């Protein structure tokens, strides 16, 4: 290894913003960070929450990436910027867009500049519930294998459902569309000058977990796609058969993007991946460790050796993919469609009377204070076997057995029930949903020895974290890095740049350590054991109503 310093950048595209993280490849030190919020998204454009439509304009990604990188670089010296040798992207997913022949999202065409269906369809967009049902029905009717490695159920949160919905409902977009691209792949292609649909590097992570890609059959056949909609079959030749793990170099930063970002031209660009999977890498994921990425929703990521998995297909999860997390290991994904979003929803309900107060610092302070006060009172209460019980399906269910038709519930209310009691029940519900995922995965033979947590909630919500430890009845370790997803991307950038031979070596030098641990309280764990059974009964009842 050379003695001179080498740095890399991880670019993390979350639901609300882009984060750029500069990391020292030799020490793992996080040198500088830049954050930029998507301007159009922040203004609430192109979305319709009532109808579960969430769209993001590609210009939001371009502008925020540029600003975030410039903010991060402003904290570095010229010689440090000159020592940056690689970058890598992680994004939310499945967040696809329909493209033209050049691989550009249709929203970048003047005629579709303000058309939501031409933009990136955010992971949390649930407009494609009927299309997901159509896909599941067809595959099950034909007894095909396409869902074997997707947990057995295809979700409205994933790419084929979303693309099918757009072409079913928007003739102009259907006629203009040549192909589709995932957000993580488009960012990589954009800065390397390779967005042509037939040539762009496709992420193994995104394709395997969200597009039914598997080495045995590649993508679903033209015959199946034609039955769903002939336009899908027409796209198939413009898509892909090969996918790549993130230790692969996809190309080099072009002169144009080097100038726009202020980075050295020709630095290595690694194949991108989904944010949760990159976050697990940043958290030093290994067999037996469940990594929980805890934010507006959750993702639960694990890896296992191929010998340990054997020929088993784990049902009810969000896919198992060879190399989606760590090359050489099988990656597993599960999660909850809403987590922090549930707390935000409850606060918004309580703050309904503030709707006429203009947006501003005063209003924001009231909203923030409301959540602080709810938390303070809720955490002072002890759990009760006779307390309120809630079901965490306010945004549908991701795992086990994806179903975006199911809805949340709250039972046990009386005229004496207080807002903090309901809030506590909602926190407990998200923990019960987490426990159901853990028990589901362990019940199918996956080994879970410990839990690592990353994301905003793990850092900012000790009450939530302690409740989760009590409900799971196992310790939860919080990873130190503030930007673990971006750190994972940076680690892959170091491999693509040739600083390290593989991700295992990069992890030894760059992986984050643990800053805190929540241990379960035995007394509360016993009470939660009984409340959890009520949660399962409520879930069973809610499925019959929904």
CB of 78 closer than 8 Å to CB of 142: no
pLDDT of residue 2: 45
pLDDT of residue 546: 66
Mean pLDDT in consecutive groups of 10 residues from the start of the chain, 546 residues: 79 96 97 98 94 97 98 97 98 97 98 98 95 97 96 95 98 98 98 98 98 97 98 98 98 98 98 97 96 94 95 94 98 95 92 76 77 94 94 94 92 96 98 97 94 95 98 97 96 98 97 95 97 97 88
pLDDT of residue 261: 98
- Strands (E) in 105-248, as ranges, are 120-121, 179-182
pLDDT of residue 145: 96
List of domains in the chain: 7-283+481-512 (3.30.420.40), 341-445+456-472+520-545 (3.30.420.40)
- Which residues, 6+ apart, have CB-to-CB distance to 284 below 8 Å? 452, 479, 507, 511, 512
Helix axes 462-472, 361-379, angle to 10 degrees: 30
Token couple for 53: 């439509």
Q: Which residues of 316-350 are buried (b: 16+ CB within 10 A; e: fewer)?
A: bbbbbbbbbbbbebbbbbbbbbbbbbbbeebbeeb
* Residues paired with residue 537 on neighbouring β-strands, in sequence order: none
Residues in the chain: 546
3-state DSSP call for residue 299? Answer: strand
pLDDT of residue 357: 73
Unique residue bearing structure tokens 């040549």: 178
As a whole number of Å, the end-to-end CA separation of the chain is 59
Nearest in space to 251 (alpha carbons), one of 272, 281, 276: 272
What's the half-sphere exposure (Cβ side, CA atoms, 13 Å) at 315? 4
Q: Helix, strand, coil % (nearest 5) of the chain?
A: 45, 20, 35
CB of 337 closer than 8 Å to CB of 436: no
Instruction: Tell me, yes or no, if the pTM score tops 0.85.
Output: yes
Nearest in space to 384 (alpha carbons), one of 337, 346, 416, 342: 416
pLDDT of residue 45: 97
Nearest in space to 538 (alpha carbons), one of 428, 417, 424: 428
pLDDT of residue 1: 40
pLDDT of residue 336: 95
Question: What does the alpha-carbon distance between residue 365 and residue 457 come to, in Å, rounded to a whole number?
Answer: 19
């Amino acid at each position: 290894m050379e003695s001179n310093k080498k740095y890399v950048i991880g670019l993390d595209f979350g639901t609300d913003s882009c984060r750029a993280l500069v990391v020292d490849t030799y020490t793992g030190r996080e040198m500088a960070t830049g954050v930029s919020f998507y301007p159009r998204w922040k203004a609430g454009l192109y979305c319709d929450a009532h109808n579960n439509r969430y769209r993001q304009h590609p210009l939001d990604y371009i502008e925020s990436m540029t600003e975030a990188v410039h903010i991060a670089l402003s904290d570095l010296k010229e010689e440090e910027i000159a020592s940056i040798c690689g970058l890598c992207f992680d994004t939310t997913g499945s967040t696809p867009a329909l493209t033209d022949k050049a691989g550009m999202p249709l929203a970048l065409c003047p005629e579709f500049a303000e058309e939501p269906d031409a933009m990136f369809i955010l992971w949390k967009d649930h407009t494609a519930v009927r299309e997901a049902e159509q896909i599941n029905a067809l595959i099950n009717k034909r007894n095909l294998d396409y869902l074997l490695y997707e947990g057995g159920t295809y979700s409205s949160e994933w790419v084929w459902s979303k693309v099918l919905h757009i072409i079913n409902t928007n003739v102009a977009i259907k006629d203009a569309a040549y192909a589709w691209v995932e957000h993580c792949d488009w960012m990589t292609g954009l800065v390397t000058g390779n967005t042509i649909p037939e040539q762009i590097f496709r992420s193994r992570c995104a394709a395997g977990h969200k597009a039914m890609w598997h080495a045995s059959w590649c993508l679903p056949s033209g015959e199946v796609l034609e039955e769903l909609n002939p336009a899908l079959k027409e796209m198939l030749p413009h898509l892909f058969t090969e996918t790549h793990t993130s230790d692969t170099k996809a190309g080099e930063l072009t002169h144009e993007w080097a100038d726009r970002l202020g980075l050295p031209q020709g630095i290595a660009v690694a194949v991108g991946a989904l944010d949760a999977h990159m976050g697990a890498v940043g958290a030093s994921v290994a067999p037996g460790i469940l990594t929980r990425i805890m934010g507006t929703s959750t993702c639960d990521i694990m890896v296992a050796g191929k010998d340990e998995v054997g020929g088993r297909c784990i049902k009810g999860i969000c896919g198992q993919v060879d190399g989606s997390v760590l090359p050489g290991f099988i990656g597993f994904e599960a999660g909850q469609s809403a987590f922090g979003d549930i707390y935000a929803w409850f606060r918004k309900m309580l703050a309904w009377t503030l709707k006429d107060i203009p947006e501003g610092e005063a209003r924001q302070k009231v909203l923030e204070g409301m959540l602080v006060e709810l938390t303070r009172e809720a955490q002072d209460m002890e759990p009760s076997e006779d307390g309120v019980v809630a079901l965490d399906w306010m945004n549908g269910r991701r795992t086990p057995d994806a179903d975006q038709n199911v809805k949340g519930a709250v039972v046990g209310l009386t005229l004496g029930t207080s807002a903090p009691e309901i809030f506590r029940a909602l926190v407990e519900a998200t923990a019960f949903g987490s426990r159901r995922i853990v028990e589901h995965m362990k019940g199918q033979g996956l080994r879970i020895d410990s839990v690592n947590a990353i994301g905003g909630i793990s850092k900012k919500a000790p009450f939530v974290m302690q409740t989760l430890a009590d409900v799971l009845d196992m310790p939860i370790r919080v990873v130190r890095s503030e930007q673990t997803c971006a750190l994972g991307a940076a680690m892959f950038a170091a491999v693509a740049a040739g600083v390290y031979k593989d991700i295992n070596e990069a992890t030894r030098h760059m992986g984050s350590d643990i800053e805190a641990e929540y241990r379960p309280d035995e007394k509360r764990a016993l009470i939660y054991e009984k409340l959890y059974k009520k949660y399962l009964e409520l879930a069973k009842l809610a499925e019959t109503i929904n």
